[in-house]
Homo-oligomer: A and B are copies of this chain.
Amino acid sequence: MAQGKQKNRAVKDVAGLADRLHSAAIHLLRRVRKQDAATGEGPARLSALSVLVFAGPMTMGRLAATEQVKPPTMSRIVAGLEQKGLAQRVTDSKDARRIQIRATASGVRLLQQGRKKRIEYLASHLGQLTELELETLGEALGLLEGVLRDWPPEG
């Protein structure tokens, strides 16, 4: 209340924006899901594989934390990836409890093919925007990426 009208208006704007952002994210992913399905792998596996490919090998726990899921969930996701030959478990030499996960060559290949398909699909629809509009979108994405980076796992 002490902040006056400008602050109140800002809060309202942020709320509206939050709602629209949530809705847009839901509907966008629904569209793209169908393209990703062509890889034969579900979204959780593709996302985990993507982390392994772009951030390099890491332990089970770190992968779970990065993907914001509980350890048992990541255990299953990795089991699925391993069974399809897309990732490998390697026991850590220093600590026998730790398990390093890494993408196989086949995993890298599948990810890149799926990525290409998805990008072409999404891009074909974003293509209706002008250069200037794409720039605005890129700017907004940069901001959003910053918000997500600073967003602590606990809340």
A residues lining the B interface (CB < 8 Å): 10-11, 13-15, 17-32, 34, 43, 47, 50, 67-68, 115, 118-123, 125-129, 131, 133-134, 136-141, 143-145, 147-148, 150-151, 155
Chain B residues in 8 Å Cβ range of A141: 17, 20-21, 24, 140
Q: How far is the CA of A14 from the CA of B30 in the complex (A)?
A: 19
B17 touches A134 (CB 8 A): yes
A126 touches B25 (CB 8 A): no
Residue of B nearest to A27 (CB): B148
A11 touches B128 (CB 8 A): no
How many identical chains are in the complex? 2
Q: How far is the CA of A90 from the CA of B14 in the complex (A)?
A: 37
Q: Could you list 25 examples of A-B contacts with CB < 8 Å? A: A13-B138, A14-B123, A14-B126, A14-B134, A15-B120, A17-B123, A17-B138, A17-B141, A18-B119, A18-B122, A18-B126, A19-B115, A19-B118, A19-B122, A20-B138, A21-B28, A22-B32, A24-B25, A24-B141, A24-B144, A25-B25, A25-B28, A26-B29, A31-B68, A133-B143
Chain B residues in 8 Å Cβ range of A29: 22, 25-26, 29
Q: Which 10 A-B pairs have the closest CB atoms?
A: A140-B140, A18-B122, A25-B25, A14-B123, A18-B123, A15-B119, A18-B119, A137-B140, A30-B68, A20-B141
